[in-house]
Structure 1
């Protein structure tokens, strides 16, 4: 599976990359919202892991625009924002799941 990680924390994105590659996934990383949105429109991307706190477009904005372009793209929010308001907003905007940091890789 080809997975796009949109995450501005290089340490977190590298941990995710190594873990997912160990399970034979191909990983693409973007550190900014705009870059991630551009990459997510590539038809070879099969899943997006999306942070909320990003430079440029934030994760909510990326999700909204991505849903307009690729409505069936699976998107999992992966963020430190654990408040109910952000969870509800992301899920109502079309996120398929919402995981909070810190997380166990097995999640």
Structure 2
């Protein structure tokens, strides 16, 4: 499975990449939503991990864009933000998987679809 990681923190990206590659996943990194949007949209079978605290276009806007795709991928929000910030950024969206930082890799793996 291809997993897109929208994360501006290099340490978090490195940790995610190592763990997800070890699980056999192809991982593509984007430091900003703008970088992600400049590529071809993800496939419906892909997973997109979105940090809410991205520079430029915030993670909540990236999630909205992803959900409007004809074949939206699975979206997992990864954040260290307070519940108030999470609620504000994701207001009006359907239920989403949220994995809190510091990352619990068991929770992250549980948020991925079975393949």
How does 1:1-107 map onto structure 2 within 5 Å?
1-39=1-39, 41-43=41-43, 46-70=46-70, 72-87=72-87, 89-90=89-90, 92-94=92-94, 96-107=96-107
Contact 1:63–1:94 at 8 Å: present in 2 too?
no
TM-score, normalised by the number of residues in structure 1 = 0.85
Give the length in aligned residue pairs. 107
Instruction: Output the TM-score relative to the length of structure 2.
Output: 0.79
For 1:28-47, what per-residue CA distance to the aligned partner results, in whole angstroms no more than 9, with x for missing partners?
Answer: 00001111234471338600
Can you give the 5+ residue segments of structure 1 that lack an aligned partner in the other structure? none
Compute the RMSD of aligned alpha carbons.
Answer: 2.2
What residue ranges of structure 2 are gaps of 5+ in the alignment?
108-115
